[in-house]
Amino acid sequence: MESLAIWLILVASYRFFMSTLVLFNYKLVMRLIYPLKPNEVTPLTSRIAYMWVLTNSILTFTTAFNMDNKPLYVITWLSFVIGLSHYVLEQIHFKTNSYANNASQLFFAGPCLILMAIRIYNW
């Protein structure tokens, strides 16, 4: 198994773990993701976040075990683009989080975006 696939498994595992946490504790979403405007976070937004993160976890796991499936690979890469764009937009435009809150997103999504883009480019 190649290094990128192993990294994707680690990312998917982290996503799965985080999805279960936010499902049962919406205050965690307030504290970790949107601390600058916690009053905008509700139990409903936490459940929506759970579904998004769980779906991405499944997508990332599936890609890690099917690295030669180009459409799946590109869709997974796009999910990282969308996810990271969301957090950056929340920070820059909506002012709901900060760089410190986005650090884990950048830590996981940054290498995935770069390494996966290189592979897409060289496909």
pLDDT: is 102 or 116 the higher one?
Answer: 116
User: Which residue bears the tokens 């969308």?
Assistant: 82
| C-alpha radius of gyration, the chain, whole number | 15
Angstrom CA distances, 114 to 1, 80, 85, 103, stand at 19, 10, 14, 16
- Residue 9: which pLDDT band, with cuts at 50, 70 and 90? very high
Q: Is the pLDDT of residue 91 over 90?
A: yes
Angstrom CA distances, 90 to 26, 52, 83, 93, stand at 18, 16, 11, 6
Q: Exposed (0-12), middle (13-18) or buried (19+): which is 114, by Cβ within 10 Å?
A: exposed
User: Which residue bears the tokens 């060289």?
Assistant: 122
3-class SS of residue 16: helix
The model carries a pTM of: 0.91
3-state DSSP helix/strand/coil percent for the chain, to nearest 5?
A: 80, 0, 20
Q: Is the pLDDT of residue 1 over 80?
A: no
3-class SS of residue 60: helix
pLDDT digits (tens, 9 = 90+) for 68-81: 999 999 999 999 99
pLDDT, mean of residues 85-95:
95
